[in-house]
Structures are given as C-alpha cells and as structure tokens.
Amino acid sequence: MSAPESSQAEDAYFASNAPPKQLAAHTALAEAFITQHAAANRRVVLVTSGGTTVPLEKNTVRFIDNFSAGTRGATSAEYFLSAGYAVIFLHRQFSLLPYSRHYSHSTDCLLDLLEEDSDGRVAVRPSDSDRILDVLRKYQSARRNNMLLLLPFVTIGDYLHELRAVARLMAPLGASGLLYLAAAVSDFFVPPERLSEHKIQSTNIVEKLYPKDTPSPSPQIEDEETFDNFDASPRVPRSKRLIIDLDPVPKFLKSLVEGWAPLGMIVSFKLETDPRILVHKARYSLERYQHHLVIGNLLSTRKWEVVFVAPGREDRWLRVARHGGWGDAEGRPLRPDEVPEGDPEQEIEALIIPAVAELHDDHIAKSSSVEKK
Ligand code: 9Z3
C-alpha cells in the first residue's frame, strides 16, 4: 500500500470507529502529565500492555481476544520507573499493573500474606514483610511524585484512538519521547457496519418473532433451512454455524513513525510461536515501518529470552536463567555452556529496559547532532 493509500485507510478507520468515551478525559490527563515531566526535563515513556479485544456485537457478550496477561508491560514499566522515566501505562483494563502485579491474580494473593494479630487487627505476616515493603516503597514513591499515569483500554478501537492521542501529545518531546509497544494488538476486526447490535443468536427465534420485513436486530441469522455451500463437505448446516468475517486493522505503526510521533524512539514487540520465523519477521517489520527497534519473543520462552533487532546492528539475544531447556533462533537447544547461569528469579525486563534505555541515549544523541548540523 502506498503512503497516501495507507493514510486514507487510517482516516477511514478513525472516522468510522467511534472513540472511547474516556478519550477526552485521558487526553487531558496525559497532556498535564507530559507537560509536568517535560518541564522537569524528564524522559517520558509510553508503555502499552495487555491484549486488545475485537467485539463481535455492539452490546458485547462475545469478543475475540489477543493473548497477554500484561506481565511484560507491567514489569517493564517498573524498570522504566527505576531508570528515572515517567511512565504512561496504556493497558488493557484489569490486566496486570506495575507493583500490584506482585500480589494479584493467582500469584501471591494478597489475602494469603495477611494475618490477624492478637488485637484483632490486620497485619502483614512477618515472613513476607520485607519483600512487600520493598514493592510498597517503590509504588508509593511513583505515586507521590506522579511518575505513573494509568490509562485503561478494552477494544482494539479504544486502543488505537488512545495510542494516536497520546503519541501526538508526545510529539513535542522530540527524541526524548519513547514509545514501547508491548500490547498484543489484533490484526483483524469487525467493522461497525457489520457488527450485530445485539447478542448473536444460535437459533432463528428472532426471525420468527420479527417477520422478514421488519429490520432484524441480528443480521447474521439465516433461515434454518439454508444449507451450507461454504465448503465441500459441511458437517453442520451453515445456519447453525457462526462465520466471522474480519477486516484487517490499518497498519498503525506506519502512522506512528511517519505522522504521530515522528522524532520519538519507537520500540515494537514481535510475537511468534514458530522459532524458525521469529527473527525474519522482526527484521521484516523493522524494514517495513522504519522504526528503531523490534524486540522478538516466542510465546513459550518470552519470560527467559528475547532478541533485539535494530537497524545497522547485529541481532542481540538477551537471556536470563530459567528452568527447563533452551532454544536458539532456529529452535535448536543451546549447548550447556550457552545457557545463562544465575538467579532463576531474575526478570528478563531487568536486562531489556537498560538495553532499551542505552539505545534511547544513542537516539537522543544522534538527533541532537543532526539538529546542530
Ligand atoms: C509481545 O510480544 C509481548 O511480549 C507479549 C507479553 C504479549 C508476548 P505477557 O503480557 O505477554 O507477558 O503475558 N507483545 C506484542 C504482540 C503483538 O501483537 N505484536 C504485533 C505482532 O507481533 C506487532 S505490534 O505482529
């Protein structure tokens, strides 16, 4: 697709997919946050995190989801805060959050860390006190200094509207703005004109209640008697199947790089499940969008190894110790001497964020030397 065609596709997408209700409120919060930290000469990073949903109905009962618990984003946000960045955390509602992630969902349920003392008051179990205190101090410091702004999204449409708005607000930061896109973003969606108003039905009861000449609230429903000619040997009549027809989501990375935040450093993640194609897909994405870094990861090993693919640089694997076997870029097990030793508790984001920050230093230095010329 040529540049004008892709910007037309983008305009059409934003014109026909309504923004989330909270967009104006989120934009105001982000603007105040960015202004405050820019005035203090602090670096600002936008971290996106969690999966986007693709609703199948306007009154949504069912949706398609992209895999992501939000661990990568929430953990990365903590390390960015430790490195002195102010963090805008654009995350899927109810996915993991920086700091609280340590004590939520199934890991370390907060209630299991508490006990009742002899006066009937709630107290932290002494054996857990130190590690909670460490997290609590960091959390309170981030809150006290207004270093962390939490902005939730749910659908792919919400995400794209929010991303565009925040990226545009970050544009004046120039090279010191960093966009770190760890959210798992759907490539496909149901456009509004094909979206059923109400819950998709599995029987034609609605057609019976609403005769043919009244508008049906559920356009997908077909007559029970209609038989499938969709494939050669249908096992189930088409009227009983749900066939979902998805359009591609416009390639928003192109707009980010070319229009929304053209001077900022843009880091995207590439998720694959087949080790043989990971590096090629990451390189392809970099060449296509001309941004600054793609961090490749495999679903099965994402917590222990990632690969940095950047223009003009060798691919660089980062690894932390883990339980179990290793795969290299081609999926072959590593030799024992290649397997990193060390603390199996170490989080890979402890390596990723300093390495990204170093590339960000270079990005800023390059852009200021271009300005001087
Ligand atoms: C990632 O690859 C993230 O690292 C994970 C993190 C989603 C694997 P968790 O939240 O998982 O720790 O459970 N994010 C990017 C995924 C993505 O959708 N990338 C697009 C692609 O691969 C490009 S923007 O095409």
* Position 217 in a domain: no
**CATH code, domain carrying 257:** 3.40.50.10300
Structure tokens given for 239: 């009227």
* Position 111 in a domain: no
Check if the beta carbon of residue 89 is closer than 8 Å to that of residue 101: no
Residue 369 has pLDDT above 50, yes or no: yes
Mean pLDDT of 81-99: 98
ipTM: 0.97
Q: Would the CB of 271 count as within 6 Å of ligand 1?
A: yes
- Tell me the average pLDDT of the chain: 89
Residue with tokens 């590096």: 279
Mean pLDDT of 50-64: 97
Q: Over the range 334-349, which residues count as b (16 or more CB within 10 Å of their CB) and which as e?
A: eeeeeebeeeeeebbb
* Position 225 in a domain: no
Mean pLDDT of 127-142: 96
Task: Using the atom order of ligand 1, give the atom closest to the CA of residue 49.
Answer: 10
Distance CA 8, CA 85 (A): 35
Structure tokens given for 183: 């959210």
* Position 108 in a domain: no
Expressed in angstroms and rounded, the spacing between residue 270 Cα and the centre of ligand 1 is 6
Domain count, the chain: 1
pLDDT of residue 227: 47
* Position 241 in a domain: no
Mean pLDDT of 143-169: 98
* Position 66 in a domain: yes
Distance CA 201, CA 240 (A): 10
Q: Would the CB of 182 count as within 6 Å of ligand 1?
A: yes
**Helix ranges restricted to H, the chain:** 3-16, 23-39, 71-82, 126-144, 156-170, 205-209, 252-255, 278-289, 349-372
pLDDT, one tens digit per residue, over 204-238 is 766 677 766 655 444 444 444 454 545 666 677 77
* Position 126 in a domain: no
pLDDT, one tens digit per residue, over 294-351 is 999 999 999 999 999 999 999 999 999 875 445 555 555 566 666 666 777 799 999 9
pLDDT of residue 27: 98
pLDDT of residue 370: 75
Distance CA 261, CA 32 (A): 18
* Position 365 in a domain: yes
Q: Would the CB of 302 count as within 6 Å of ligand 1?
A: yes
Q: Which of 91, 185, 356 to mutate to test the pocket of ligand 1 (most atoms within 8 A of CB)?
A: 185
Q: Range of 342's domain?
A: 3-103+145-189+249-372
| Predicted TM-score of the model (pTM) | 0.89
